[in-house]
Structure 1
Amino acid sequence: MMVVKVKDIVDFCSARAWGVELDDVLKDVTIHSQEVRPGSLFVALPGTRTHGHQFVPDVWAQGGIAMVEKTYAPITGPSLVVDSPLMAMGTLTRSLVDTRHITVVGITGSVGKTSAKELIAATLQSKFVVGKSQGNYNTAIGIPLSFLRSPDSMTHFVAEMGMRALGEIAQLTTITPPDVAVITNIGPNHLESLGSIKNIQRAKGEILQGLKPQGTAVLNADDPLVRELGEHLSDHPILWFGHKSGDVIIDRVHMLDTATEVTLLYQGDAVTIRIPWLGKQHGANVAAAFLVGTALGLCPDEIRRGLEQVDPGTGRLQRRSVGSLTILADYYNASPLSTTMSLQILAAHKTMGRRIAVLGDMLELGSQEEPGHWQVGTAASRNADMVLAVGSRARIIAKAANLEKSGVATWVANLNEAFAWLQTQVRADDVILLKASHGMNFDELYQRLKDWGGPS
């Protein structure tokens, strides 16, 4: 946790302090009242069903400090009163970035931004004290929370910047303005809310408009929409990564049993890096992280050392064992591109059993919903021995897979039916891919498989 005094919030955010000393140091910052302990700052935000103000008396009873709006009354415990707690958190974060001279790496993209964030943070940790967006904290409240919970000695912060609408990434760059901005790729994720791929491109491009004056862009040369953004960026240096051209070229990506080996070409030399994650898609993420490292003064050996120390548990696709079964769990989110990549990992996985793809609905695809699910069904038929499609939208996956390879796919409506099917169909040594959008709750399906223990 960064050392933040009440006085900092009063000065930076024009807050009014009540019942608390200006020199008091915050012990933690949270938006969840159940996490409050003595000295914690509870940020009272409006929710979809309740307002954080409802929990302020509980916060006081637990010894916490409440950040509330001016409309809150009566104030009978330690409080910081502001116009908007959400805006105050952003203002506090920006003020600390500026006064402490924190170097910020901002990253966005339709697929792979969380993995790239972890790899970039690991790269920089070889030389610097690094903070990063935690989990899926990639919003106007998540980024400040992650920032404030970072080490007080932090010199660099890696901010994953998500969005569901135009203007949201622009807002995030006012909170943590990037010294280096990375765009991994641009695809149809959030097409339902943004309406067109051009609007998604515009939204992702906001990170480049938010670059600091001397900032550098790190962009994917293989993606036409990203390349187009770069062609219109005339006032910042650009570092490109890609398979055919760029400042760093992805020469070879080789999957091992529990790792992925990536060979990059950089300034005439081949640099081979082995990360403890599975997936050929990580070639691009490693290349992006490599260029961020060079932009911030690291040498290739320092970059390699950092990347190879990345936490195995932070990769999106997790390899787990349930009895004799191997589960490839990758259900944080799903798009046609990321699902196809996961299917390729399934196909490459060595096993004495069968490869089974359990694929759920992909959400927020808008006009690309039907073609996107059809594309996945076709890919599934070519990469799996058996396909189980789960959910109303996934019916298209089963239809496409069976058209490609008759009888390969089964469709079920929900998780109960999916679990029942798996109990009757799986055999010892099978490898099962679980892939769906987060809203499909495939974590529950994994837990049921884990509790069952697999076939005897």
Structure 2
Amino acid sequence: MFDINSLAGAISGEIVQRGNTETAHGIATDSRVIPSGHLFVALRGTNFNGHRFADHALRKGAAGVIVENLDWFDSEKELLDDKWVIRVENTYRALADMASWWRRECGWTLIAVTGSCGKTTTKEMIHDILSTQLRCGRSAGNFNNEIGLPMSILSFPQDLDVVVVEMGMNNPGEIRNLSRIARPDIGVVTSVAPVHLQNLGTVDDIRKAKSEILEGISRGGAFVWDMDDPFANIIGAQAVSGFSLLGKPVASGWSYFRFFPELASDPRVEPITPAEAKADPASPQTVLRAENIALNYDGSLEYNLRSGDKQKGDCPGLKVTIPSFGSANVVNSCIALAVSAGMGISLEQGVEALRGFSNVGARMRRLSHSSGARIVDDSYNSNPVSMSMALRDLLMLPCNGRRIVVMGDMLELGEKSLEFHSRIVSYMIDSEIDFIAGVGPLTGEAMSTANGAEGRAMSFDSAKDAAQYLNTMISGDDLLLVKGSRGMHLENFISSLTLAESVESAWIR
């Protein structure tokens, strides 16, 4: 519930008309699904204008509207007798200011997660652990942009102890704006990888954009990162040294280090390390290490966790078991455990909470084909680093049949797009991948020029065409990985397969 007078003051809004209620139940930006008693914010974009639907929102029971102009006002006066009308210069700015105001009004600790890979999974893990001891909220799905983040903050009730949100970006400056809205108490960078290169240029430019999260972290706050990621480690060094672009001190309370000898980076796949990353790593207060990593036949993940503290010294190892598939969850879970430890939850309690964790959506989801073949559905998204990690998982899993990869194009990689695709295809051909089904022009071109691809690779015009072919090709002992950028719609491949009634039946033996 929001006090509308206070809200109007927070956004410097002009109250054109007062309604017959002093409170609003919430904020909405979609007039089609606005709940009764909410305030409607009329956003304006390149291809839409919420002002055209202000009257519709009022007819559906909105308590009032927040608008930039009153062009529609005179013709709709009959709707406005008991409704609030608040005018602002810019409704996007008003939405951000509302979220900042509500953040200040509430007493929760706020944890913000950004990174090129693993944001949503890490957020969900943090939430699952913290929820065992605290009243914890989290942003829905991947609500992480200039609209989604403010709407997430505005959706949280005041009586929570802690909230966990995501911050995404496509361009420089976006994380800075989001961090200034959220003012995190704990900031997290999961990884820095070649994504959105079309807009950002280089991986180091992505690192600079991700480092903007430091500008909003509260005084006395903490920063958590992967010390084995050379680009993220530069950001960590900024945090440890108390440096941010605003010159404001940023304390680092906890950190996390990933030890991954079994999955050493392939030089053809990983991005070039910047010169700065070759310096000595940052020295945080607490370090977590994952050792002896293993993927089981059923896709579950196991590793030994060790922690070291500058004051307390090393602690005995803990065995971590995560039922969800994917070695990327080593990174995600260690970060989640570090954040939770900073919130007062012991590592033992955190490890126990992760025993019930499930991946979100089409992220390393285990499925079964009617033939008995195992399928790893990672069709949610893809980039060169997450693709190479998924391939290594495929190669680590025990398999008595063929290893098959359905690879969709990786989008938004800029001028090096074909080079990245060629590196991935070459890696697959040189490894124990038995068959590659390519979907998209970039993957198809990379396969057409790759040495050794003949007889082991085939290009398809659509995901459905690939599914039609593989439905008759795969057999009971085979293992499939399905992965591509969201824009390639590989969910259509999954929906066109003949799946077993029990989705995980093939994973149990």
2:130 maps to a residue whose letter is L
> 1:131 & 1:211 partners in 2: Cα distance?
19
1:36 to 2:34 alignment: yes
Which of 186-195 and 228-237 deviates more?
228-237
Residues 107 and 37 of structure 1: is their aligned pair in 2 closer, same or farther, counting only changes over 3 Å?
A: closer
Q: Deviations over 1:40-98 (max 9, x none)?
A: 33332223422122222222221124533231333334344332222222212211222
1:13 counterpart residue number = 11
Equivalent position to 1:317, from 364, 367, 377:
364
1:83 counterpart residue number = 89
Q: Deviations over 1:260-284 (max 9, x none)?
A: 2232101322122222311111111
1:259 counterpart residue number = 300
Residues 176 and 433 of structure 1: is their aligned pair in 2 closer, same or farther, counting only changes over 3 Å?
A: same
Q: Cα offset for 1:399?
A: 3.9
2:408 maps to a residue whose letter is G
Alpha-carbon contact 2:368-2:500 (below 8 Å) kept: no
1:131 counterpart residue number = 137
Q: TM-score, normalised by structure 1?
A: 0.90
Q: TM-score, normalised by structure 2?
A: 0.81
Larger Rg: 2
1:243 to 2:290 alignment: no
Q: Cα offset for 1:112?
A: 1.6
Which of 423-432 and 259-268 deviates more?
423-432
1:410 to 2:458 alignment: yes
Equivalent position to 1:398, from 416, 431, 447:
447
Alpha-carbon contact 1:105-1:180 (below 8 Å) kept: yes
Equivalent position to 1:338, from 377, 386, 398:
386
Q: Cα offset for 1:302?
A: 2.6
Equivalent position to 1:103, from 97, 109, 122:
109
Q: Cα offset for 1:198?
A: 2.4
Equivalent position to 1:389, from 425, 438, 454:
438
2:335 counterpart residue number = 288
Q: Cα offset for 1:437?
A: 0.5
> 1:90 & 1:49 partners in 2: Cα distance?
21
Alpha-carbon contact 1:44-1:66 (below 8 Å) kept: no
Q: Cα offset for 1:315?
A: 7.2
Equivalent position to 2:414, from 366, 383, 405:
366
Q: Deviations over 1:72-129 (max 9, x none)?
A: 3333343443322222222122112222122111121112222211112222212221
Q: Cα offset for 1:341?
A: 1.6
> 1:173 & 1:164 partners in 2: Cα distance?
15
- Look up the SS of the partner of 1:221 in the other structure: coil
Alpha-carbon contact 2:362-2:380 (below 8 Å) kept: no
Alpha-carbon contact 2:447-2:453 (below 8 Å) kept: no
Residue ranges of structure 1 left out of the alignment (5+ in a row) = none
- Look up the SS of the partner of 2:407 in the other structure: strand
Task: For 1:192-203, list aligned pairs within 5 A.
Answer: 192-203=198-209
Q: Cα offset for 1:337?
A: 1.0
Task: For 1:110-121, list aligned pairs within 5 A.
Answer: 110-121=116-127
1:25 counterpart residue number = 24
> 2:58 & 2:427 partners in 1: Cα distance?
55
Residues 452 and 180 of structure 1: is their aligned pair in 2 closer, same or farther, counting only changes over 3 Å?
A: closer
> 2:30 & 2:498 partners in 1: Cα distance?
29
How many pairs align?
Answer: 450
Q: Deviations over 1:220-255 (max 9, x none)?
A: 111122222222332233333223597111113222
1:221 to 2:227 alignment: yes
> 1:442 & 1:48 partners in 2: Cα distance?
28
Alpha-carbon contact 1:334-1:435 (below 8 Å) kept: yes
Residues 392 and 405 of structure 1: is their aligned pair in 2 closer, same or farther, counting only changes over 3 Å?
A: closer
2:355 counterpart residue number = 308
2:183 maps to a residue whose letter is P
Alpha-carbon contact 1:395-1:411 (below 8 Å) kept: yes
> 2:165 & 2:325 partners in 1: Cα distance?
23
1:197 maps to a residue whose letter is V
Residues 452 and 300 of structure 1: is their aligned pair in 2 closer, same or farther, counting only changes over 3 Å?
A: closer
> 1:72 & 1:422 partners in 2: Cα distance?
57
Alpha-carbon contact 1:191-1:365 (below 8 Å) kept: yes
2:379 maps to a residue whose letter is Y
2:41 maps to a residue whose letter is V
Residues 425 and 19 of structure 1: is their aligned pair in 2 closer, same or farther, counting only changes over 3 Å?
A: farther
> 2:352 & 2:70 partners in 1: Cα distance?
51
> 1:189 & 1:303 partners in 2: Cα distance?
31
2:317 counterpart residue number = 270
Paired-residue identity, %: 28
1:51 to 2:49 alignment: yes
Equivalent position to 1:431, from 474, 479, 502:
479
Q: Deviations over 1:288-311 (max 9, x none)?
A: 111111222222223223333434
1:97 maps to a residue whose letter is R
> 1:288 & 1:171 partners in 2: Cα distance?
24
Q: Cα offset for 1:196?
A: 2.1
Q: Deviations over 1:304-346 (max 9, x none)?
A: 2333343444572211234334332212211111112222333
- Look up the SS of the partner of 1:251 in the other structure: strand
Residues 251 and 435 of structure 1: is their aligned pair in 2 closer, same or farther, counting only changes over 3 Å?
A: same
> 1:295 & 1:195 partners in 2: Cα distance?
35
